[in-house]
Amino acid sequence: MNGAPQFGKIVIFGVGLIGGSFALALKSAGEVGEVVGFGRRLGSLTQALDLGILDRAGFNIGQEVGNADLVLIATPVGTTPEIMARIAPCLGPQTVVTDAGSTKGDVVAAARAHFGERLGQFVPAHPIAGAENSGALAARADLYRQKQVVLTPLPENAVASVARVRAAWECCGALVRELSPAEHDRVFAAVSHLPHLLSFALVHDLTRRDNRDLLFDFAASGFRDFTRIAASHPEMWRDICLANRTALLDELDRYRAQLDELRDALQRSDGAGLEAAFDVARAARRAWAENKASE
């Protein structure tokens, strides 16, 4: 917190949990001079002003973006292309743009379509920090502390632009990593998008039973944990599934092959086969949890 903040002016599109927490974290670190926000709903902007997330609500994109150091696009992913189209002509030469989308292939494609010669000014990113609640009211300065943020830099990015985005997330307390966009999408199809689809599928299937009330009545803590992510936002997850369709289909097919193997073992009453698979899974899950705890 010595001297001037690293970022004079930041513009945020979408002042919800993700954008709001980013602003609060940078303010808390003393690393931003001014935060200006754009949003679709006046109520959210007013709330964000009241909560000290924003210094000002923006009205003229051209005016606000031209002299911004950093622009964060943190709106629902479906609106990202439109925002890119609107800000592209207004970027100042020093302005770096980043996003917070859960998928990267689609975001990069949109960026290629809309930023033109200024593509190098866009550094794609994905902060891995969810929360049960959304909206500005849920924003917290410590949301990203010790959480991972994945940057998926483009060949067109200047090293300095990537470093600026990295610095911003590090000011928020995040652990910044880099992957290629395709690698990112394959990894998250496996460890996030597929589990969400599987969890939605289980609950959806149970709702179609005649005895669903009895089933839900006896569902206990295992069900609770397994299906927590089935309470996630349907529209957001529809968009993620569609955006990462190819990698997710591939993961789904691998998983179905795995299920077929376990089904065969069960059909044959192959206790040793089942136990061996469960044993490998338990060891890996425990090692993972211990590893995460020590981070």
What is the sign of the dihedral through the CA atoms of 154, 238, 88 and 130?
Answer: negative
The pair of structure tokens assigned to 71 is: 């622009």
Pick the binder of a copy of itself from 77, 162, 190, 247 (CB under 8 A): 190
According to the binding rule CB under 8 A, does residue 206 interact with a copy of itself?
A: yes
* Residue 105, burial from CB neighbour count under 10 angstroms (0-12, 13-18, 19+): buried
Q: How far is the CB of 286 from a copy of itself (least distance, A)?
A: 5
Q: Please list every residue from 152 through 171 that binds a copy of itself, using CB under 8 A.
A: none
Determine the Cα–Cα distance for residues 32 and 40; give it in Å rounded to an integer.
24
Determine the Cα–Cα distance for residues 31 and 25; give it in Å rounded to an integer.
9
According to the binding rule CB under 8 A, does residue 221 interact with a copy of itself?
A: yes
Element (H, E) at 227: none
Q: Please list every residue from 34 through 63 that binds a copy of itself, using CB under 8 A.
A: none
Q: How far is the CB of 171 from a copy of itself (least distance, A)?
A: 21
Q: How far is the CB of 221 from a copy of itself (least distance, A)?
A: 6
Segment contacting a copy of itself (CB under 8 A): 7-15, 38-46, 53-61, 217-225?
A: 217-225
Query: Tokens 């000290």 appear where?
Result: 52
Cβ nearer to a copy of itself, comparing 50 with 275: 275
The pair of structure tokens assigned to 232 is: 């996630």
Pick the binder of a copy of itself from 140, 148, 163, 173 (CB under 8 A): 148
Q: Please list every residue from 248 through 287 that binds a copy of itself, using CB under 8 A.
A: 248-249, 252-256, 258-259, 262-263, 266-267, 269, 271, 274-275, 277-282, 284-286
Query: CA 11, 14, 17, 21: dihedral to nearest 10 degrees?
Result: 0
65-96 burial string, b = 16+ CB within 10 Å, else e? bbebbbbbbbbebeebbebbeebbebbeeebb
According to the binding rule CB under 8 A, does residue 32 interact with a copy of itself?
A: no
Q: Please list every residue from 101 through 130 that binds a copy of itself, using CB under 8 A.
A: 128-130
Segment contacting a copy of itself (CB under 8 A): 3-11, 29-37, 79-87, 216-224?
A: 216-224
Whose CA is closest to 240, among 195, 183, 289? 195
Q: How far is the CB of 229 from a copy of itself (least distance, A)?
A: 5
Cβ nearer to a copy of itself, comparing 158 with 215: 215
Cβ nearer to a copy of itself, comparing 11 with 125: 125
Under 8 Å CB-to-CB from 81, ≥6 apart: which residues? 110, 113, 114
Q: How far is the CB of 264 from a copy of itself (least distance, A)?
A: 10
